[in-house]
Amino acid sequence: MSYLDNSIDSYKRMVFPSPSHLYVSPSEKYGFKCRPRIVLLPDPLHYINDLYKQIEDIEHESFNMTCERNNLQQLNEFLRQRIIELEAKLHENEEKIQESTEEVALQFPSG
């Protein structure tokens, strides 16, 4: 290896350090030993499971609302048909009452 190769390698090490050189422990930096700091991070699976549960709850609620809407639509259609039937019966009864009234008037003329 020539001097130029050595200087290029040392330049690469300075400009592009290896990952092991990126972190300098405090004991190396300051020359004393210290306990590593332990940071407890929340369990990501807990959050993921919680999100899945929320999604399932929303899907279940959406399904229930869809069923309720369908049931209400069916009930609305049934009630609409029933009203039409009852109006037809009312009209028939009104006609019968009118005919009966006319028959009674003919049988018992006033005056």
Q: What percent of the chain has pLDDT over 70?
A: 60
Q: Is residue 84 part of a domain?
A: yes
Q: Which residues of 26-54 are buried (b: 16+ CB within 10 A; e: fewer)?
A: eeeeeeeeeeeeeeeeeeeeeeeeeeeee
What tokens does 20 get?
Answer: 């092991």
pLDDT for residue 15: 52
| Whether the predicted pLDDT of 68 surpasses 60 | yes
Q: Is residue 111 part of a domain?
A: no
Whole-number Å distance between alpha carbons of 19 and 10? 16
* Mean residue pLDDT across the chain: 77
Q: Is residue 110 part of a domain?
A: no
Q: Is residue 108 part of a domain?
A: no
Q: Is residue 73 part of a domain?
A: yes
**Distance, C-alpha 33 to centroid of its chain:** 52
**Domain range spanning residue 77?**
3-101
pLDDT for residue 16: 53
Average pLDDT over residues 75-86: 96
Structural domain count, the chain: 1
Whole-number Å distance between alpha carbons of 68 and 31? 71
Q: Is residue 83 part of a domain?
A: yes
Q: Is residue 109 part of a domain?
A: no
Neighbours of 110 (CB within 10 A): 4
Q: Is residue 44 part of a domain?
A: yes
Average pLDDT over residues 1-29: 56
